[in-house]
Structure 1
Amino acid sequence: MASAAIHIDMPLGVIVRKIPGVTRWAQWNWRAVAVLPGAGPADWVELRREGDAVEYHAATLPLTLWAAEAEAYLANLSDKQPSIYLVLRDEARDGQPLDAVLVTASPYEAQDYADTGEEIVEKIPMTEGLIAWVRDFALEHHRDEHFVKRKRDKARVDRVEDGKGDARIRQPADVYRAPRRAMQ
């Protein structure tokens, strides 16, 4: 199945925990805590409540692995704790506190979303089965790129070109000369 495909998908449920904020500026602190590989559809279903802390099955999103991203997946797997990255937007709609946009195993794609500053990117530890699934796909599709050293052109850069100005501007004389006093 994966050998002929350039990508594969798996539905991935995302568990998000809501706890009271510790500052007066943030009423709630939202944190992604776990993933559920192969989960069914969900839309902010409450799973567990302990005092003020509530865990939700926030969404089930497709985790898509692309053959072209195999190097990124291997970089993720070489980390101390391989992770899934969840991208959330702070756009409350239809009673949802946050909008779950994307899950990815690529740390490079997650960095792109984090750089915009408009999304919240959460790092969630991968399960053992998910690590094996991503590893098998990445090893099957990874291709080493051979380093090609660039060659310098043959232009001589050691020559001195004093007195030459901008070639686009016509100059009657040396543009680097000191200005002279007008003669009367």
Structure 2
Amino acid sequence: MPVRHLTVGIVAVKRKLSNPWVDFEWLPEAVLPGLPEVPPGTRIGAEGTVERWYLGPVELTLHSGETSHYRDNLASGRPSVWVALRESQEGGWGVAGATIDPYEGEAFVDVVTDKVEAVPMPHEVAVELQAFIDAHHVDQPFYKRKRDRKDPNAEPDFGIGHPALAERGKRS
């Protein structure tokens, strides 16, 4: 089964909150099609109480068996990369995962402590994704399963514990 790997960079925003229990909120903001020249964990900008941080690289893995999911993502009108951020035990935030499979991205929200966002997919990643779909997608024909027809002459099967079964056992 063909697999392709794409390495992208993740940018997150850190916002100051006016909350008595939480000082800051971290959220994924962007996916970079390449890797910048700065090391992971670098603050790359600030505007008022909002800071932008480059959190580091992450690998997107494309599987040929999931091409219909990728096609759904591209056809959605807003192709996205789902990014999950997780707080470390030291209090810093990092990338827990990233995917371009919308159904896998939906499953990311099952971890309630992670911050998950669908961020816009860069054009360069969309082009690579479309090339992968074109090379490996195979349409699966729809197959409607038919029920087995019941034999009208067969004895009824009532299952274990049914009163009719108990009566049948007494006659033997």
Q: TM-score under structure 1 normalisation?
A: 0.76
Distance in 2, matches of 1:103 and 1:42, equals 19
Choose between structure 1 and 2: higher helix proportion: 2
Q: Would you say the 8 A contact 2:45–2:51 is kept in 1?
A: yes
Match of 2:149 among 134, 144, 154: 154
Give the match for residue 32 of structure 1. Answer: 28
Q: Would you say the 8 A contact 1:87–1:119 is kept in 2?
A: yes
Q: How many residues align?
A: 165
Q: Larger C-alpha radius of gyration, 1 or 2?
A: 1
Deviation at 1:25, TM superposition (A): 3.9
Distance in 1, matches of 2:5 and 2:52, equals 25
Report the 3-state secondary structure (helix = DSSP H, G, I; strand = E; otherwise coil) of the residue aligned with 1:167. Answer: coil
Q: Would you say the 8 A contact 1:92–1:99 is kept in 2?
A: no
- Provide runs of 4+ in structure 1 moved above 4 Å: 168-174
Report the 3-state secondary structure (helix = DSSP H, G, I; strand = E; otherwise coil) of the residue aligned with 1:47. Answer: strand
Structure 1: any 5+ residue segments left out of the alignment? 175-184
1:19 paired to 2:9: no
Judge which range, 148-157 or 79-88, deviates more: 148-157
Write the letter of the residue equivalent to 1:8. Answer: R
Report the 3-state secondary structure (helix = DSSP H, G, I; strand = E; otherwise coil) of the residue aligned with 2:103. Answer: helix
Same amino acid, percent of matched pairs: 25
The structure with higher relative contact order (CA 8 Å, sep 6+) is 2
Match of 2:72 among 75, 85, 88: 75
Write the letter of the residue equivalent to 2:68. Answer: E
Give the match for residue 54 of structure 1. Answer: 51
Deviation at 1:151, TM superposition (A): 1.6
1:140 paired to 2:135: yes
- The within-5 A match list for 1:112-127 is 112-127=107-122
Change (3 A) 1:117 1:160: farther
Give the match for residue 180 of structure 1. Answer: none
CA RMSD across the alignment: 2.8
Deviation at 1:117, TM superposition (A): 3.0
